[in-house]
């Protein structure tokens, strides 16, 4: 399980971009503007036999905007997220160290036709020691 202090530290860094954020299990009503949606995808912890206790995971941040507004603003925010978490970035979340262990990447731009939203998923791979 990802330690709470680690999620809090990553979430705080994401919030510095200044957009509304839909956090997991928190009521959220989107304004009629771009917002971020954060999810954590955790893999199994690795034991000491493989180089120490560490957890690998991906934080996926969906950059969400109203459908029909074009992709430039959402793509610009996706690029800003990638720049905020460049490969090998190390962040202290005492007593843990978070390391971005791969280049962040944006996936295919998607439409949520049923709800009128457009989004770009940004995946940020990291490990926690």
pLDDT truncated to tens, each residue of the chain (129 aa)? 788 999 999 999 999 999 999 998 999 998 878 999 999 998 766 665 555 677 889 999 999 999 888 899 999 999 999 999 999 999 999 999 999 999 999 998 888 877 888 999 999 999 998
Q: How far is CA 28 from CA 21, 34, 40, 95, 121, in A?
A: 8, 13, 17, 31, 19
Neighbour count for residue 85 (Cβ, 10 Å): 22
Measured distance CA(109)–CA(42) in Å, rounded: 23
Domain boundaries, the chain: 4-128
pLDDT at 118: 92
pLDDT at 106: 94
Select from 57, 111, 109, 66 the least CA-distant residue to 85. 57
Chain center to CA of 115: 22
CATH architecture for segment(s) 4-128: 2-Layer Sandwich (3.30)
């Amino acid at each position: 399980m990802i330690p709470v202090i680690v999620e809090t530290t990553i979430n705080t860094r994401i919030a510095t971009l200044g957009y509304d954020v839909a956090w997991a299990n928190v009521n959220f009503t989107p304004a009629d503007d771009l917002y971020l949606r954060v999810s954590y995808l955790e893999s199994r912890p690795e034991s000491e036999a493989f180089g120490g206790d560490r957890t690998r995971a991906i934080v996926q941040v969906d950059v969400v905007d109203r459908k029909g507004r074009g992709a430039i603003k959402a793509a610009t925010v996706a690029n800003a997220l990638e720049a905020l978490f460049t490969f090998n970035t190390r962040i202290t979340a005492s007593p843990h160290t978070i390391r971005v262990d791969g280049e962040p990447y944006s996936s295919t731009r998607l439409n949520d036709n049923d709800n009128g939203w457009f989004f770009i998923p940004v995946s940020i791979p990291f490990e926690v020691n």
